[in-house]
Amino acid sequence: MNTIYAKMTEEEIDREQIRLAGEILRRGGLVAFPTETVYGLGGDAFNPESSRKIYAAKGRPSDNPLIVHICRLEDMERVAARVTREARLLAEAFWPGPLTIILPKRPELPLETTGGLDTVAIRFPSNKIAKAMIDAGGGFIAAPSANRSGRPSPTLAQYCREDLDGRVDMIIDGGQVGLGLESTIIDLTDTTPIILRPGFVTWEKLQEVLGNVNAGSLVPDLNDETAPKAPGMKYRHYAPQGNLTIVDGPQDKVTAYINEKISIHRSEGIRTGVICTEETKNVYAADLVKSAGSREDEESVARELFRILREFDDEGAGEIYAESFDSTGIGRAVMNRLLKAAGQRIVHLG
Ligand code: AMP
Ligand code: MG
């Protein structure tokens, strides 16, 4: 398949290209598009064949459900069987924006789109290109992140191209995304609302609107049979090709530990990468040292993380060490993605 490339900005939307994207989506094709979180890979949510194509293009297991993207508040009712009071409160407070709400699904929505579940994940993104494309494509666009399964989510169109060129009909380049981590997912189908994936809409903010919210686990405990299960959590996520280890503890110990590893790996001929911050970028002797921004600026760390993981792949980092971050506020989302990328490998130094 020959992938069509389009380029535009939120300020200057190319109406002709959006019309073409809409046509592709309506006839069952796939379009990768920018959102405020990461790039998505979209298909018509009501067309089971489109959803099958999304799984195939990504190499994604078909029991890992997709998120249905809408561009009008009232369209929630077209995919959810019941729109609860809590769902309305959240939609009013955070939409359009980086929050995904899980509700019971309407029977008309194909099971292919929801990974076989009787619930649906719904999001109304704020990115103007995304909104225009969803509208042009019929209003209901199923989309996971636009990466090959297991790789870090794309924060630039060039990463969609690397992963999906020739596998999708169109890729819309809208520049670097603003946030860089996927949406917060909150499940409203149980007695107490529970966060299945932390993101920019933090636990603290959700509690302000709903009162009691279960923060969920920082990362799914794969051995705990009683823990709530987020679909897809059993799969490898965001993983770089090198071995990633998170190192937690006082900075002087972290520095010493990582520097010792660097010299061991160097003697073995292995290139080592370090994910650090502005404050510490000069303390490591690694081949590849990447600052994700200042520790004070968690939003920068969130925005840069997936780009850094991809760059390490391109640069052949065999071993990667990451500093640890506070898991409050947006830091919770950062640590969740880091722990998943590291296969939960974390070293605690006293
Ligand atoms: P992605 O944006 O690529 O992470 O893919 C969408 C993610 O949304 C899936 O991996 C699930 O974790 C989550 N999701 C989608 N639908 C549901 C649902 N009905 N229930 C729980 N989680 C869901
Ligand atoms: Mg994904």
Nearest ligand 1 atom to alpha carbon 60: 3
229 pLDDT band (50/70/90 cuts)? low
230 vs 94 pLDDT, higher one:
94
Give, for ligand 1, the residue of 38, 100, 155, 200 to mutate: max count of ligand atoms closer than 8 Å to Cβ.
100
Alpha-carbon torsion (69, 72, 75, 77), positive or negative: positive
Question: Where are any strands of DSSP class E within the chain?
Answer: 4-7, 31-33, 40-44, 67-69, 99-104, 119-123, 141-143, 170-173, 184-187, 194-197, 243-248, 272-276, 288-291, 319-323, 346-348
Q: Is the minimum distance from the CB of 65 to ligand 1 under 6 angstroms?
A: yes
Asked whether the predicted pLDDT for residue 113 surpasses 90, the reply is yes
Q: Is the minimum distance from the CB of 117 to ligand 1 under 6 angstroms?
A: yes
Across 267-287, average pLDDT: 97
Same fold flag, 4-210 and 243-348: no
* Exposed/middle/buried for residue 278 (C-beta within 10 Å: 0-12, 13-18, 19+): middle
Residue 125 CA to residue 233 CA, distance in Å, equals: 23
Q: Is the minimum distance from the CB of 231 to ligand 1 under 6 angstroms?
A: yes
Give, for ligand 1, the residue of 185, 189, 219, 336 to mutate: max count of ligand atoms closer than 8 Å to Cβ.
185
Distance of CA 285 from the midpoint of ligand 1 (Å): 39
Residue 268 CA to residue 262 CA, distance in Å, equals: 10
**Selecting from 3.90.1150.10, 3.40.50.300, 2.60.40.1120, 3.40.50.11030, what CATH number does the domain 243-348 have?**
3.40.50.11030
Asked whether the predicted pLDDT for residue 236 surpasses 90, the reply is no
Mean pLDDT score of the chain: 95
217 vs 10 pLDDT, higher one:
10
Q: Spell out the domain ranges in the chain.
A: 4-210, 243-348
pLDDT value, residue 226: 59
- Please give the CATH topology (third level) of the domain spanning 4-210: DHBP synthase (3.90.870)
Q: Is the minimum distance from the CB of 121 to ligand 1 under 6 angstroms?
A: yes
Asked whether the predicted pLDDT for residue 223 surpasses 70, the reply is no
Residues 91/209, Cβ–Cβ less than 8 Å = no
Q: What is the pTM of this model?
A: 0.96
Nearest ligand 1 atom to alpha carbon 119: 19
Across 313-340, average pLDDT: 95
Asked whether the predicted pLDDT for residue 145 surpasses 80, the reply is yes
Q: Is the minimum distance from the CB of 103 to ligand 1 under 6 angstroms?
A: no
